[in-house]
Amino acid sequence: MVMEELPVQGQKAELKGFSAVLKEKRNLKNVELMAEESVREEKKLTLQAPKIEVRDLNAWFGDNHVLQNINLDFKARTVTAIIGPSGCGKSTFLRCLNRMNDIYPDFRMAGEVILDGENIYDDGSDVVSVRKRIGMVFQKPNPFPKTIRENILFGPLIHGIRNKDKLDEILEKSLKAAALWDEVNDRLDDYAFDLSGGQQQRLCIARALAIEPEVILMDEPCSALDPTATAKIEDLIYELSKKYTVIIVTHNMQQAARVSRWTAFLLTGEIIEYNATETLFETPERKETEDYITGRFG
């Protein structure tokens, strides 16, 4: 009996913790929503068709059935978080969305991932153009061992942009969008590894933005960063969601609560619950979700 009660108390405290985060976020948003434009934007969003629809997605690594019957709609121009314990398949799921799993020889999948009405796994679909439309940011900052400029322009150059003015414009635009321009504009030809970890991760985001994607996938983008750098990236994610569809995988539930509008909870390869972030964290429908966000396992 006593054993049963204790976690429940803890759980209430936890839930309170989340609602504090969410409340703060709502207040922030309310201020912004006062702007009429934002309201209109908001209305438009709710009417929009989903950017990515996942239909009956199953995936295997060898004999290991890592993703099971996943059906999910990702809304356009908003942040969707995917949470779940380690090894639940959330990174694999994210990589399914831009066909990055194709590079693993023992990977198999079935089902559809529909981007703007077209299945990216169709025979006629071109993996290069899929990845051009769906950018990705990795767990560990992974800039190329090149200069800042070369890092950003790598994507545009391989996609055939040669005009120097255009390239300079892309360089500035991407770095500004990733909130890095002010810190590096006087040393664009410095080596990328001379930047701090957080700056490197923003450089990777800028590099992903340089090919003008529509969707940005982020695979635990802050797990290798300190709290200050994390806060900067989170602000950036919020900014990016005004223009891009952002899908972020995180094992940090506070982070999911802070940055996302929608949250999906993934457990052992299955979507347990998918809902608006506020709803999922404050009044989870499923027992497993509640157990996970209150820290009973994970």
Partner 1 sequence: MLKRDESKFQKFLNGLKDNFSSFISKMRQIREKEKEEIALFILACSSILILFLITVFVFQAALPAFKEIGVLDFLFGKSWSPGYGRYGAAPLFFGSFMIVFGSVILAVAIGVFAAIFLVEYLPRGTADFIKPFIELLAGIPSIIWGFFGLVFVAPRVADFFDLPVGRTALTAAIVLSFMIVPTIVSISSEVIEAVPQQYRRASMALGATKWQTIRGVVLPTAKPGIVASIMLAFGRAIGETIAVLMIAGSVPLLPSPFYDYLDPVLPATATIATEMGETPAYSLHWHALFALGIMLFIITFVVNTAADIYVRRTKRGVIMV
Q: What is the DSSP string of 191-203?
A: BGGGS-HHHHHHH
Helix (H) or strand (E) holding 21: helix 2-33
| Residue 213 CB, nearest approach to partner 1 (Å) | 9
Q: Which of residues 100-119 bind partner 1 (CB under 8 A)?
A: 100, 103, 105
Cβ(203)–Cβ(192) below 8 Å: yes
The residue within the footprint of partner 1, chosen from 71, 142, 185, 254 (CB under 8 A), is 142
The one segment of 53-61, 72-80, 140-148, 177-185 that binds partner 1 by CB under 8 A? 140-148
The residue within the footprint of partner 1, chosen from 193, 197, 235, 276 (CB under 8 A), is 193
| Residue 33 CB, nearest approach to partner 1 (Å) | 34
Helix (H) or strand (E) holding 135: strand 134-137
d(CA 107, CA 64): 10
131 contributes a contact to partner 1 by CB under 8 A = yes
Number of residues that bind partner 1 (CB under 8 A): 29
Neighbours of 142 (CB within 10 A): 13
146 contributes a contact to partner 1 by CB under 8 A = yes
Cβ(98)–Cβ(245) below 8 Å: no
Neighbours of 291 (CB within 10 A): 16
Instruction: Decide whether 70 or 203 has the Cβ nearer to partner 1.
Output: 203
Cβ(189)–Cβ(151) below 8 Å: no
The residue within the footprint of partner 1, chosen from 149, 202, 207, 261 (CB under 8 A), is 207
202 contributes a contact to partner 1 by CB under 8 A = no
Instruction: Decide whether 79 or 206 has the Cβ nearer to partner 1.
Output: 206
**Cα→Cα distances 201→29, 53, 158, 214, Å:** 26, 28, 21, 19
| Residue 247 CB, nearest approach to partner 1 (Å) | 14
136 contributes a contact to partner 1 by CB under 8 A = yes
The residue within the footprint of partner 1, chosen from 29, 55, 65, 140 (CB under 8 A), is 140
Instruction: Decide whether 208 or 257 has the Cβ nearer to partner 1.
Output: 208
Amino acid in position 198: G
Nearest to 187 by CA among 229, 143, 148, 151: 148
128 contributes a contact to partner 1 by CB under 8 A = yes
d(CA 148, CA 135): 18
The one segment of 36-44, 135-143, 251-259, 283-291 that binds partner 1 by CB under 8 A? 135-143
Residues at the interface with partner 1 (CB under 8 A): 98, 100, 103, 105, 128-132, 135-136, 138, 140, 142-146, 154-155, 157-159, 191, 193, 204, 207-208, 211
